Structures are given as C-alpha cells and as structure tokens.
Structure 1
Amino acid sequence: MMQKITPFLWFDNQAEEAVSFYISVFRNAKVGKVIRYGEAGPGPVGSVMVAEFELEGIRFTALNGGPMFKFTEAISMVVDCKDQAEVDHFWDRLSEGGQPGQCGWLKDRFGLSWQIVPEALPRLLGDPDPAKAGRVMQAMLQMTRIEVAKLEKAYAG
C-alpha cells in the first residue's frame, strides 16, 4: 500500500549527509530515489536536490533547498523503544553532534528534533493512580535521556 503522507525534510545543503546518517542509525532503513541538480540549478551540478529514504517502513524525502528554512521543535520525530537498550542506542546515535534536551528530547546534528520514548513511559504516566503517575512525571522532568529503571522506581514509590 502506498504511504499517503510523507515527511519532507528541508536541509540547506546536507540532505545527502543526513540521509546517510539516518540510514546508519536505524536497522530497517534504505535509500530510495535520488535526484541531483543539473545544469539548470539552482544547486551545484551533481549535488543532491531530493533524496527519498525509508526508516522502519516510513518513507521520507530530504531536500537541499538552501538556508531559508530551519527545523524547529514544533515538529519532531518520535522513536518508540521497547527497552533501555533501544533508548540508549537511539539516544547515543541521534545525539552525536547534536544537543540533548529534557524529557527524552534531543536535536540531532542537523537540527531535527527527536523524542526517544521507552514503551514504559506512556504506560506509567497513564496509570489511573494520580500519585503514581505524578511521581513518574516528576522523575521524567529531571531527565534528559529517559531512564526506565528510575521511572519504575518512582512509580513504585
């Protein structure tokens, strides 16, 4: 089935580098069609204009569109992780050259925001006991990378 909506990522001139990086981070990833600028420009001849790629079954498009637009935290990619090992893998790789944020958020070296979320987090935050959920929230607010063991300890009281 064709994917109806595709995230389209605007880069200044790092689309090819970004695609290579993202492909190296995710196990189920591949590069698709790559279109390069020709003599008509506006980019340098032979440089990537548009590159399609896939991460974990989701198609993306990367464009070298110039410096007019930058990423903001208003849009982020969420990586759902089964355990701490996955959280650590994605946090370590995606934050290389980037900036850690609060509560599992980070910006990668291209300025794209990511949320690295263990499956335990929404389960613990959604507990019907407001005291348990509140302790988990307070623990999470102290974290950059989410630490499942600390969340579970807070949950238990």
Structure 2
Amino acid sequence: MPAEGFTTCLWFDGQAEEAANHYCSIFKNSELGRIGRYTEAGPGPAGSAMAVEFVANGQKFVALNGGPQFTFDEAISFQIYCDDQDEVDFYWDKLTEGGGEGGPCGWLKDKFGLSWQVVPAKLIDMLGDPDPEKAVRTTQAMYKMGKLDIAALEQAYAGE
C-alpha cells in the first residue's frame, strides 16, 4: 500500500476479512493488501485475520478485528457521489444486500453497520442553487426519499 496520505481504520468483530473482500468486490480501483493473522498468542483465534489492508475506490483502509467493544454509528459515514441513476442504484443495492438497510435522504447502513450516503453528484449544485425556491423544492423532495431518485429531484428542482 502507498505510504502517503491517510489510512482509515475500520473496527470489526471478527468480520474484517469478509468486509475487506466485500468492499473490494463493489468498488473500482480496489485491491486487497497484506493480512496479519492472529497466532497462538491470541487474543483472536489462531489463523484468523487480525488486520486486513485494502484499497477501495482508491482510498486506503485497514479492517481490524478488534472485538465487540466498539461498533459503527452514523457519526462517521462515507459518501459516494454518482453520475447517474444507474450508479445510485448499483451502490445502493450492493451496499444494502445481505442485511443492510436503507435510511432517509440517500443514507444506508451496510450489513456490517457502516453508514454510507449514495448521492447524485448534481444534488449538491441543486441544493446550493442561488434561487432559494429551487433549493427548497429539491430539499423537500429529498426529505421524502430513501434511495435518491435523480429524475424526481430534477423535477422538483425545475418546479414540475
């Protein structure tokens, strides 16, 4: 893994290797790196993954099997900016499959409990439009959605 930049450490309870493989299967520009395994010295089962380096969408991560002491919550999440509805649908479906759950305004939790927001890239411009009526209509439409629908957001933005 490259030495420059930051690496995000994600804490799991026995699911680090599964999670790293899962994220690498979803995102382009992804790969598994080194895997450190527990030995007979513990504290995890000998041979199980202790830490797994991986890159997902060019971002460096370490998945750590640290135990049940800490879990994910919405205070930390990852945003995925999408160019079109096909991308929104792809990431939403892949990240909610296998036990994940959708939330409001494009937010979801994956099967590991990690929070994501799947966002159309153009939404930021619509929400920040200098015409407050366009921004309000778009915001109100977004508040009614789980997975974001680009066509419906564009219609609200246009006042249709």
Instruction: Quickly name the TM-score band, shorter chain normalised.
Output: over 0.9
| Poorly superposed stretches of 4+, deviation over 3 Å | none
- 1:49 corresponds to which residue? 50
Offset of residue 5 of structure 1: 1.7
RMSD of the TM alignment (CA)? 0.9
Alignment of 1:113-132 (within 5 A): 113-132=115-134
Distance 2:34 2:125 in 1: 39
CA distance in 2, matches of 1:28, 1:88: 19
TM-score, normalization: structure 2? 0.96
* Runs of 5+ unmatched residues, structure 2: none
Matching residue of 2:37: 36
Q: TM-score, normalised by structure 1?
A: 0.97
Alignment of 1:5-154 (within 5 A): 5-96=6-97, 97-154=99-156
How far does residue 118 in structure 1 lie from its aligned partner after superposition?
Answer: 0.8
The question of whether the paired residues in 2 share the 8 Å contact of 1:139 and 1:151 is answered with yes
Identity of aligned residues (%): 57
Secondary structure at 1:136 match in 2: helix
Q: How far apart are 1:23 and its partner, in Å?
A: 0.9
Matched positions, count: 157
- Provide the C-alpha distance between the structure 2 equivalents of 1:2 and 1:84, rounded to a whole number of angstroms: 35
Contact 1:3 1:59 in 2 (8 A): no
Tell me the alpha carbon deviations over residues 56-83 of structure 1, each in whole angstroms, 9 at most, x when there is no partner: 1110000001111000000001111111
Unaligned runs of 5+ in 1: none
